[in-house]
Amino acid sequence: MGLPLAGVVVLDFSQFLAGPVAALRLADLGARVVKVERPVTGEIGRTLAFAGRWADEDTVSFHAMNRNKEAVVADLKDPGELELVRGLVARADVLIHNFRPGVMERLGLDYESVRALNPGLVYAAASGYGADGPWADRPGQDLLAQSVSALAWVGGGDRPVTVGLSLADHLMSCHLAEGVTALLVRKLRTGRGGLIETSLLEGMLDLQFERLTACLNPPATDPPPPDLVLPSALYATADGHLAIAPTRPKTLFRALRAPAGMEVGGVEQVGRWVAERLAVGRTADWVEMLGAAGVDCVPLRTLDEVIGSAEFAAVGMTQVVEREPAEPGGEPLRLTTTRSPIRIDGQVLRAGRSAPRLGAQGRLRDGADPLAADPPIAQ
């Protein structure tokens, strides 16, 4: 089917996670994404292995983040090859990078320099802590962004706890892709490109907009009486754990057959009683009983339990991607990974091509021209 970004050409100079995943999101929507990598080693994500897993000389995480892309090799420190890269930039629709501040400026590939080459270029730059300020020159990293933004205190109670995933990177990839898409719409209307910038820190602060808004504004001098609601919480059961969404105590009391007088207790007292009550029953029984009473709850699952669940099967979140064999007659690599989480016109977005080998479309100095037949979408 015709995907929304079909015909859009993206040059992906980014590395490891946030930038490559932003480009991946554009590829899932139909854009043609060409990775531009250094010779010999390629981008760092090819060798940084999540959980120590490798496949066909690249890390499994690299395959997951760079499926459905192409790849060319260019030495940006070589003046001749850099000039060839500038030729690609002049014909592309989008450029994405997450180099440390100052790198693209030294190469002459910063936004101010390249928009003279290509006024219609949409230029996406990602950083750790923003383009200005005392930490502008520091490299970004997910754990550090979670920590310096105070996110680590959200769920830890009296001790900090970070999310065990690259939350800041993944959020920034969404913000980058959102900004690129918005500027592509403007480009189609006006022919003008633009600059989208964001950072790990800004994404982590945006994630906490409720908490920040409460902290940044003085409390009301005469607030209304609080409406007692139990916050979201995890509870231990006799055979596992249960997650309950924010709930009015009276709804839980009715479902759990609370003794008379419990309704006058505070949040802590009610929470303790609920925890004690749930600890003596099985998770599946509680899910059925509480759900019938109008309490939103689900079992707390391990990743293996998720993969084996009916809900996982129903949403069809996996796809098989394939990489051609390195040698003629060899076996292709087939990997099962996730798909795009969105649907377009009711259709699930899947692409069967795995991440490219380093320089799959050649090296620029050897005459490779991946954009020979791809003019920009708006002149």
- 3-state SS, residue 330: coil
Write the pLDDT tens digit of every residue in 127-143. Answer: 999 988 899 988 899 99
- 3-state SS, residue 127: strand
220 in a structural domain: no
C-alpha 7/C-alpha 138 separation (Å) is 36
C-alpha 170/C-alpha 147 separation (Å) is 16
Predicted pLDDT of residue 377: 74
Are residues 254 and 165 located together in one domain of the fold? Answer: no
Q: Which of 169, 304, 345, 369 is catalytic?
A: 169
Are residues 120 and 168 located together in one domain of the fold? Answer: yes
Domain range enclosing 278: 241-299
CATH number at residue 170: 3.40.50.10540
C-alpha 238/C-alpha 185 separation (Å) is 54
Contact 33, 93 (CB under 8 A): no
Alpha helices in the chain (DSSP H): 18-28, 60-65, 79-89, 103-107, 111-117, 142-148, 167-190, 200-207, 209-216, 249-256, 267-278, 283-292, 303-307, 310-315
Are residues 144 and 289 located together in one domain of the fold? Answer: no
Are residues 40 and 129 located together in one domain of the fold? Answer: yes
285 in a structural domain: yes
Strand-pair partners of 242: 235, 299
Are residues 271 and 149 located together in one domain of the fold? Answer: no
CA gyration radius, the chain: 25
* Mean pLDDT across the chain: 92
Predicted pLDDT of residue 159: 87
79 in a structural domain: yes
Q: Rounded mean pLDDT of 23-38?
A: 98
Which DSSP state fits 353?
A: B
Would you say residue 263 has pLDDT above 70? no
Q: Rounded mean pLDDT of 220-236?
A: 80
CA distances from 303 to 87, 171, 206, 307, 309 (A): 46, 21, 28, 6, 10
Are residues 138 and 245 located together in one domain of the fold? Answer: no
245 in a structural domain: yes
Alpha helices in 191-323 (DSSP H): 200-207, 209-216, 249-256, 267-278, 283-292, 303-307, 310-315
CA distances from 193 to 39, 99, 165, 298, 307 (A): 30, 21, 33, 46, 42
Are residues 150 and 271 located together in one domain of the fold? Answer: no
Are residues 252 and 204 located together in one domain of the fold? Answer: no
Are residues 104 and 245 located together in one domain of the fold? Answer: no
C-alpha 353/C-alpha 169 separation (Å) is 23
C-alpha 33/C-alpha 71 separation (Å) is 8
Are residues 198 and 169 located together in one domain of the fold? Answer: yes
Which residues, at least 6 apart from 183, have a Cβ–Cβ distance to it below 8 Å?
A: 122, 193, 194, 196
Q: Which amino acid is at 88?
A: L
Predicted pLDDT of residue 291: 95
Write the pLDDT tens digit of every residue in 317-355. Answer: 999 999 999 899 999 999 999 999 999 999 999 999 999
The residue among 253, 239, 257, 251 whose CA lies nearest residue 296 is 251
373 in a structural domain: no
Are residues 270 and 348 located together in one domain of the fold? Answer: no
93 is catalytic: no
Write the pLDDT tens digit of every residue in 276-314. Answer: 999 999 999 999 999 999 999 999 999 999 999 999 999
227 in a structural domain: no
Predicted pLDDT of residue 264: 59
Which DSSP state fits 139?
A: P
Q: What is the dihedral of CA 221, 227, 228, 234, to 10 degrees?
A: -100
pTM of the model as a whole: 0.92
218 in a structural domain: no
- 3-state SS, residue 1: coil
Predicted pLDDT of residue 223: 73
193 in a structural domain: yes
Are residues 177 and 245 located together in one domain of the fold? Answer: no
Number of domains in the chain: 2
Length of the chain: 379
Q: Rounded mean pLDDT of 236-256?
A: 91
